[in-house]
Structure formats: C-alpha cells, structure tokens
Amino acid sequence: MEPKAIRNVALVGHGGGGKTALAEALLFTAGKINRIGSVADGNTVMDFEPEEIDRQISLGLSVASIEASGHKINLIDTPGYADFVGDARAALRAADLAVFVVSAVDGVEVQTELLWDVAGNEGIARAVFINKLDRENSSFSRTLGQLKAAFGKRIAPIQVPVGNEQDLEGIVRVVSERAYTYKPGDAHGALIDLPESVADVVHEAHQALVEAVVETDDSLLEAYFEGEEPTRDRMVEVIHSSVATGEIYPVMVGSATKLIGIDTLTEFIIDFAPNPMERPAPPTKSGDIQMAADGETIAYVFKATGDQYVGRINVFRVFSGTIRNDHQLESSDGSPAKMTSLFAMQGKDHADVTEVGVGDIAAVAKLDQVRSGHTLRSSGSSVVISPVEMPKPVHEVTITPRSNQDETKLSSALAQTQEEDQTISVERRAETQETVMAGLGETHVDVTLARIARKYGVEIDTDIPRIPYRETIEGTADVEGKHKKQSGGRGQFAVAFVRFEPNQRGAGYEFLNATKGGSIPRNLIPAVDKGIKEALERGILAGYPVIDVRATVYDGKYHSVDSDEMSFRMAGIMAVREASSLLRPTILEPIAELAVRIPEHYMGDVIGDINAKRGRVLGMDTDSGSQLVMAEVPMAELQRYSVDLRSMTGGRGWFTVKFTHYDPAPPQEIRKIVSAASEAV
C-alpha cells in the first residue's frame, strides 16, 4: 500500500466513551466482520483478553485494519481508564490522527483532557467523534460547548445530528449541507433533503466552518471579505491541510451501536486525515529520520506483548524504508533483529505478510530481546527514536507467591511483565526483605496480578509495603562490652570499652579507634566494629537499623589464648546491648518530596489533605495551565495516595514521589511504630 493511501488512527478518550464499540462499528461497516460484538457480551474484536472481558473495559491497546475506497486504515483502540494510560500514550506515537471519542451523555472528561495535550505534544492531528447521541440525556449542543470551552475556537463541527436521544436518525455534512438517514442495522446512510428542524443549526455551523477555513489562508480570507465563499473542493483541501497542522479540530457525530455516522467517519478519515508522510517525524535521541519509502529502515516498537502460541509479539510502526520477511535489522540496544515472522494484527488474530512499507503498522514474533520503546533500524544506522514518556508507577504492594515452589516461576513472570508493560516496576528491597510491585493505580496492579496468575499459573498474595524507618540515638553512653565463655579447653574472652554518641544527621555510622598501648590488638579492632554494626542493624527500639551514631572504642582487655575475632565481635554486640537503655533511642521516618499536578480549583482540597498527612507545602507554581504543588510528606502517609488523589480530583490529579531524607517522627507515631513492631514479634 502506498503511504498516501494509509491512515493510522488512534481511538482515544475517557473510559466509557465507546471507543471499542466504535472500532467494532468501523470494522462491520467496512465488511471486516459480519456481525457486531459488544463490550457487555465480551465478543468484540479489540477487547479479547480475559481480564478485559471480565471487567468490560479495555486494558491495553489493540490493532485492526480496514480497507475502503482504495485506502488502508489502521485502527488502534486504546484504554480510557487512567491506570492504563501508558498504552494510550504509546498508541499516539504510532498514529497520524487521534480521534477523541466523547460521550454525548457524559461530555468532556478527564482522560480526554489529559490525552489531548499528549497528542498535541506528539505533534499529531486531532479530531472528535461525539458518540452515544442516541442515549437518554445525550446532547450535541452541550457536548460541543464543553469541547470549545476545553480546547478552544479551533473546535469545528463538520457534522450535525438529525434528531436526538432515541429519535436520532441521521447526520448532516456541514460542508455540503447534505443530510443522511439510517435504517436500523444499515450502516450506510440514505441521502435526504435537509430537515427544517436542523436547517438553522447546519447553516450556522457551515458559516462558522467557512470562517475557520478562510482564516487559515490569506488569499481565501481576502476573497471572503469580498463576498466570495470557497468552493466545496477548496474547503475539503484546506480542511485536510488544517487538520494535519492542527489549525482545525473537526467534530463528527453519531452512534456506534446504531451504526449512525460510521460510514461518514470512514470517509472523513480517508478525505481529511493526514497520511503517514504528513505526520511530523518522531523525536530522536540520536540521528535524523528522513521519512521515505527508499530510505534506511527505521521503525518504532510501540507495544510488546506475549502470546501463548507464538511467544513475544512486538507491534511496530515503520517511519522510513520497507521491512521485508527475513530482513536483518538491529534493535536500538544493539541486539540483532531478524524479521522472520511478519504479520498484520486483527485484534487477537494474525495474518502473515511479506513486507511492511513506510507508514504502515504490523507485528513481528520471536524477537525476545526487543522491548516496547525500542527502535528497529538498518544495521549501522545511528537513529534512535526517543521512547514515549510514560507516567511513573506510584501505587505499591508487596508480592509473595502463595506456594514456595512458585518462586522461580514468579521471577520469570515478573521479568516478562516488566518487559511488556513499561508502567509496572518490580524491585527487591533489601532493607525490608520485600519484593514490591508498583503500578499506576490499584486496578492496574490488580489486573497485572490476575494476568500473571492466568498466564504463568502463579497465585500471589499482596500486602502494604513496610515503611523503611530508621532508628537513631539522642543520648550518650560509656559502657563495657564483655564476652566470656569457658566450656573446657580453649575459651572465648574479650572486653571492649566503647563510648556511643549521636553523629550529625545524615552522617551515618562512624567508628573510631582510640585504644592505646595495645589494650586490644590492632588486628582485632575491626571485629569490634563489625559486632557494633551488626547489633545496630538489628535496632534498639523497634527493630529498624540505627543510623547517625559515632562509636569510639578507647580501651579493652584480651587473653593471648582465648581472644579471637569472634570474641571481640561478640564484645561489640554486648556493648550495644549494655548501652541501649542509656542512649534514648528514637525513630526516624522517611520523608518524600511530593509533586502534585492538578487543576486550580482542587488546590484547597489537595493542600488541606497534605496538611492532614503531616506534610509541609514547599511551593506552588503554574505549569501548562495546571497547578504544581511541591511538598514534603512522610512516606507512611502516601501509601494509598494514588487512591486518595484520584478521589479528591476525579482523576484529574497526577503526582510523583521521591525519597529525600529522614526526619524524627513525632511521639504519637513512635508509639504506633514500636507497638506494631512488638505485635509482629
């Protein structure tokens, strides 16, 4: 397929807008499927994972294609739920047009607003399809008003509905002012006279569209002032170029479930959507991309997933050159990538292909070293496409296999999961001896664990991660650490006099040797240090490591036969035990830097919540139309912050957390921590 005949379209927007239903309607209208599935019945082309069918929402991106009027349209259906926004972002890298599917009942919602900016940053064209106009309480005018309020005067309706709610019967094309009605089950509209009921709305929309078009071209604007309106063909031409450059955001209307406006949406994509060569080249970390069919081969992997039959599948978009079967490429990490198994994807189904040209989307199997975000390129090429920026995981749980026999299987499953989902992280925390998984939210983590159980047969128990508290001392002590053991034969003997005192905050543990006259042999001094460190690691108050302590050994006793490293290590341990009641131990809690990005009208609620969490606001700033709040908050108060912030802001808030330092915990918190430690013993 020539690049000019390809259209790459991502269906994006808030959950519940009807993206998957719209993809199903487009496939049916184009003759790709002979019956329409539904999300509720779990039989759509795009939602095929068991977890998607069970929850009745899209949890990852999926790809299918249709052919119409000599064109190929690659459709990328994306999740609308905030926890799975990573795949929506990835899809926008592969697309040339983002069609935002907006419910006429619910209007413009959070994810639509957030992804609108992501698409703009990616530099791709944007359009809107107002869906569900057949539903009760739906409103075209209300939704259009919300779109203009959210995204500005470039919002331009090029279609108007005929009828409303259950009486929706068709659409009108604003450019030609032609009206079409649809019979139940018929995906193709029949031309009718313009109904009087919508004539005024259509004329007004037509006039507004003409004005929007002429404002993009000085010669058209001058002619318009002289009373000359652009011809229909000229309107189509200018709208096409204006869509590609982002000067106009066209709005279409219809109902995916009633198949109203689906045929005209297909025609819009063909006539007005940019072709792959009209899309800006993606950003690169190195090298430049010259998008051409005969250029060096450059492709971007925007999705990696596992299939039980063919193994690893990498879905990619070709930005330059042509990829053929058995083509020897390399990945941006330097690993070889022989394209031995190319295929096009139709939801979960695969169709083998022999080559993939510039601008097209396809998949390849059996490239186990290739990951999402990798560049596939000609050998010797220096081009590396910058990976899509993904949100950082913020919701943490500890994970433990229900059966000890599944340890190895779990390790393999976690490695595969992280390779396929860049918004999941897994780390082993030595300080708490826990394996911690983090995702974008509670649902994200739950779904990931359900997939691991299904695909790898590993059942996993979860819990809230332990907070890595520290202990320190506020007092001083001068003690004798003595170890003496005699049980026949060679015994054990060591005495170490040690002075303990607080060290500077953040200075950690410091050991000084102030012995004189060989009271402890030089070669045995490190054993005292080792014993003290070992005892401090076990904690004094609640079992957490003791930090910011200076220990000075200044005298001691030894026996020429019975003293050895083990004896003096035990003397160091005993010194800590002797001093513990005198050192006034206390708890230090980890403090995190919290950065919260929110719309301005949530500032009061968010700042109030930070204060309630014992936080301290450091500053506020305006960034890209939203408010950025910087604060320091104890990490113990942030363990469910992803849930709290989503509740406070209706999903409009985003945040990042980064550990910065330790601070003394207040007395009431210390009592809770010590009590919890006692109960755990």
- Give the 3-state DSSP-derived string for 552-616, with helices as H, strands as E and coil as C: EEEEEECCCCCCCHHHHHHHHHHHHHHHCCCCCEEEEEEEEEEEEEECHHHHHHHHHHHHHCCCE
Asked whether residue 64 is domain-assigned, the answer is yes
Beta bridge partners of 300: 317, 375
* Whole-number Å distance between alpha carbons of 658 and 656: 7
Instruction: Enumerate helices (H) and strands (E) in the chain, giving the number of each.
Output: 16, 36
- The three-state secondary structure class of 294 is coil
CB-based contact 295:383 (threshold 8 Å): no
3-state SS, 358-395, equals CCCEEEEECCCCCCCCCEEEECCCCCEECCCCCCCCCE
Read off the pLDDT band of 622 (50, 70, 90).
confident
- Using a 10 angstrom Cβ sphere, with 0-12 exposed, 13-18 middle and 19 or more buried, the burial of residue 371 is buried
Mean pLDDT, the chain, rounded, equals 93
Asked whether residue 391 is domain-assigned, the answer is no
* Whole-number Å distance between alpha carbons of 314 and 309: 14
CB-based contact 163:136 (threshold 8 Å): no
* Whole-number Å distance between alpha carbons of 110 and 356: 36
Do 363 and 507 lie in one domain? The reply is no
Q: How many domains does the chain have?
A: 5
- The three-state secondary structure class of 665 is coil
Checking if the pLDDT of 441 tops 70, the result is yes
Give the pLDDT confidence of 574-609 residue by residue, as tens digits.
999 999 999 999 999 999 999 998 888 899 999 999
Which residue type occupies 359?
A: G
Do 34 and 172 lie in one domain? The reply is yes
| Mean pLDDT, residues 375-386 | 95
Checking if the pLDDT of 88 tops 90, the result is yes
Give the pLDDT confidence of 390-409 residue by residue, as tens digits.
999 999 999 999 998 898 89
SS3 content of the chain, % helix, strand, coil (to 5): 30, 30, 35
Beta bridge partners of 173: 159, 178
The pLDDT assigned to 625 comes to: 65
Q: What percent of the chain has pLDDT over 90?
A: 82
Asked whether residue 160 is domain-assigned, the answer is yes
CATH of the domain at 292: 2.40.30.10
Asked whether residue 390 is domain-assigned, the answer is no
From residue 184, alpha-carbon distances to 198, 255, 642 in Å are 21, 12, 44
Read off the pLDDT band of 228 (50, 70, 90).
confident
- Look up residue 270 and give its two tokens: 């063909």
The pLDDT assigned to 372 comes to: 93
Checking if the pLDDT of 612 tops 90, the result is yes
Do 211 and 322 lie in one domain? The reply is no
Lowest-confidence region among 499-513, 532-546, 639-653: 639-653
| Other residues' Cβ atoms within 10 Å of the Cβ of residue 646 | 19
The pLDDT assigned to 306 comes to: 81
Least Cα distance to 574 among 548, 556, 550 occurs for: 556
Checking if the pLDDT of 328 tops 90, the result is yes
In terms of DSSP H, where are the helices of 488-564?
A: 525-537
Read off the pLDDT band of 624 (50, 70, 90).
low
Do 596 and 535 lie in one domain? The reply is no
Do 357 and 486 lie in one domain? The reply is no
Domain-terminating residue out of 385, 414, 432: 385
- The three-state secondary structure class of 159 is strand
Which residue type occupies 151?
A: F
Least Cα distance to 386 among 287, 304, 464, 532 occurs for: 287
Checking if the pLDDT of 185 tops 90, the result is no
The pLDDT assigned to 486 comes to: 77
CB-based contact 121:245 (threshold 8 Å): no
Do 272 and 288 lie in one domain? The reply is no
Backbone φ and ψ of 674, nearest 5°: -65, -40
The pLDDT assigned to 48 comes to: 93
* Residues with Cβ within 8 Å of residue 200, at least 6 apart in sequence: none
Element (H, E) at 303: strand 298-307
* Whole-number Å distance between alpha carbons of 414 and 117: 32
- The three-state secondary structure class of 635 is helix
Checking if the pLDDT of 337 tops 90, the result is yes
Checking if the pLDDT of 487 tops 90, the result is no
CB-based contact 143:116 (threshold 8 Å): no
Do 593 and 641 lie in one domain? The reply is yes
Domain-terminating residue out of 278, 306, 325: 278
What is residue 35's DSSP assignment? S
- Using a 10 angstrom Cβ sphere, with 0-12 exposed, 13-18 middle and 19 or more buried, the burial of residue 193 is exposed
Do 132 and 232 lie in one domain? The reply is yes
The structure tokens 């649902």 sit at 443
Domain-terminating residue out of 550, 583, 616: 583
The pLDDT assigned to 497 comes to: 98
- Look up residue 14 and give its two tokens: 């808030």
Do 138 and 245 lie in one domain? The reply is yes
Checking if the pLDDT of 176 tops 70, the result is yes
Read off the pLDDT band of 230 (50, 70, 90).
confident
Asked whether residue 114 is domain-assigned, the answer is yes
* Whole-number Å distance between alpha carbons of 93 and 192: 40
Largest distance between two CA atoms of the chain: 116
Do 578 and 592 lie in one domain? The reply is no
Read off the pLDDT band of 489 (50, 70, 90).
low
The pLDDT assigned to 681 comes to: 59
Give the pLDDT confidence of 506-516 residue by residue, as tens digits.
899 999 999 99
Range of the domain at 669: 588-680
Least Cα distance to 652 among 604, 601, 599, 603 occurs for: 599
Between strands 125-131 and 616-623, the pairing is unpaired
What is residue 100's DSSP assignment? E
Backbone φ and ψ of 101, nearest 5°: -90, 115
* Whole-number Å distance between alpha carbons of 247 and 177: 22
CATH of the domain at 527: 3.30.230.10
Do 579 and 593 lie in one domain? The reply is no
* Whole-number Å distance between alpha carbons of 143 and 150: 10
Least Cα distance to 637 among 615, 658, 655, 616 occurs for: 615
Asked whether residue 210 is domain-assigned, the answer is yes
Beta bridge partners of 162: 170
Least Cα distance to 650 among 11, 119, 15 occurs for: 15
* Whole-number Å distance between alpha carbons of 541 and 473: 10
From residue 499, alpha-carbon distances to 474, 550, 579, 580, 581 in Å are 14, 8, 9, 12, 14
* Whole-number Å distance between alpha carbons of 157 and 310: 44
* Whole-number Å distance between alpha carbons of 442 and 182: 42
Give the pLDDT confidence of 353-371 residue by residue, as tens digits.
999 999 999 999 989 889 9
The structure tokens 């049916």 sit at 28
Beta strands in 564-634 (DSSP E): 585-598, 616-623, 626-634
| Mean pLDDT, residues 626-640 | 93
Asked whether residue 640 is domain-assigned, the answer is yes
Asked whether residue 625 is domain-assigned, the answer is yes
Least Cα distance to 115 among 142, 84, 136 occurs for: 84
Give the pLDDT confidence of 22-76 residue by residue, as tens digits.
999 999 999 999 999 999 999 999 999 999 999 999 999 999 999 999 999 999 9
Do 294 and 248 lie in one domain? The reply is no
